[in-house]
Amino acid sequence: MLKFNGNSAIGLGISTVHSGNVVVLGEEVRKRLAAVKANQLVVIDIGETNFQPEAATEATNLFAFNILSAVSIVFVVLLIAMRRKAGLIIGISLILTILATIQVM
């Protein structure tokens, strides 16, 4: 028996197709739910238990912040440890390597 906010509930799980975009699917699901809620019965309550697109967006943003922070720290340490010219050369090649890797992914 599924409970939602202390009441008996019916669960519905929706997932993307292989290589689908979960954020786009989430936007579409929310649009459809808004249309359904406009015509729903008063005794029925539609709610969310876990909305994966929000978690995916948050994880992506956190990953981007973490990788930018890490690359910035390494770049600064390279500049300090190897002096300006060698640090710039190696730091820029590091950044280009990371960008190429992300592009290939």
Tens digit of each residue's pLDDT (9 = 90 or more) over 29-75: 889 888 888 887 777 788 888 888 888 899 999 999 999 999 999 99
Residue-level pLDDT at 45:
80
CA-CA distance, 47 to 50, in Å (whole number)? 10
Higher pLDDT, 80 or 50: 80
What are the structural domain ranges in the chain?
Answer: 1-50, 51-105
Residue-level pLDDT at 18:
86
Q: How deeply is 58 buried, as exposed, middle or buried, from its count of CB atoms within 10 A (0-12, 13-18, 19+)?
A: exposed
Give percent of the chain with pLDDT exceeding 90.
29
CB atoms near residue 91 (< 10 Å): 19
Model-level pTM? Answer: 0.64
Average predicted confidence (pLDDT) for the chain: 87
Q: What are 54's two structure tokens?
A: 């929000």
